[in-house]
């Protein structure tokens, strides 16, 4: 490893240390059947583990909803039955544009480190310069195993 690579690595580590860390958690199919806060709407084990994982690592959490877009944890919402999993690529792109616009109003995108937790369709077209998706490529069983081990 040459000096330039070490320097770039140290700059990256320094940036991560001083950056705000925001987790984005995608919604899930299994929901409460009554009006409640967004963090309580999604009741699957996967969501609960992603939420606990994010709570330990983030300054802020947003939930990405196929219906509502970017949700604050305490936003009160009604149950719904909408997903990006059966949306067209054009619909996913349009949804992602709206999400990026909302995120850019709430956060300094270039100086925020995003932890992406959830389904690929919710992150596929987001353009976040500083992000990691620790669950990317893992099956449901391995996602749960990873999250349980790391919370």
Answer yes or no: is 78 within a domain: yes
Answer yes or no: is 1 within a domain: no
Answer yes or no: is 2 within a domain: no
pLDDT in tens, 69-125: 999 999 999 999 999 999 999 999 999 999 999 999 999 999 999 999 998 999 999
Answer yes or no: is 6 within a domain: no
- The number of distinct structural domains making up the chain is 1
CA distances from 51 to 38, 63, 113, 145 (A): 11, 9, 17, 14
Answer yes or no: is 29 within a domain: yes
Residue range of the domain that includes 75:
20-149
pLDDT in tens, 3-42: 445 555 555 555 556 779 999 999 999 999 999 999 999 9
Quick one: pLDDT at residue 130?
Answer: 92
Q: Is the dihedral angle over the CA atoms 140, 145, 148, 151 positive or is it negative?
A: negative
Answer yes or no: is 13 within a domain: no
Answer yes or no: is 40 within a domain: yes
Which phi and psi angles does 75 have, rounded to 5°? Answer: -65, 130
């Amino acid at each position: 490893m040459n000096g330039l690579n070490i320097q770039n690595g140290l700059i990256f580590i320094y940036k991560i240390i001083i950056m705000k860390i925001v987790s984005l958690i995608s919604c899930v199919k299994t929901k409460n059947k009554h009006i409640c806060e967004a963090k309580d709407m999604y009741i699957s084990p996967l969501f609960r583990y992603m939420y606990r994982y994010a709570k330990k690592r983030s300054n802020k959490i947003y939930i990405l909803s196929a219906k509502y877009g970017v949700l604050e944890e305490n936003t009160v919402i009604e149950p719904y039955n909408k997903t990006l999993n059966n949306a067209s690529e054009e619909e996913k792109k349009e949804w992602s544009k709206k999400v990026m616009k909302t995120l850019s109003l709430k956060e300094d995108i270039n100086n925020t480190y995003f932890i992406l937790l959830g389904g690929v369709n919710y992150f596929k077209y987001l353009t976040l310069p500083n992000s990691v998706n620790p669950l990317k490529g893992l099956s449901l069983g391995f996602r749960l195993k990873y999250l349980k081990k790391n919370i």
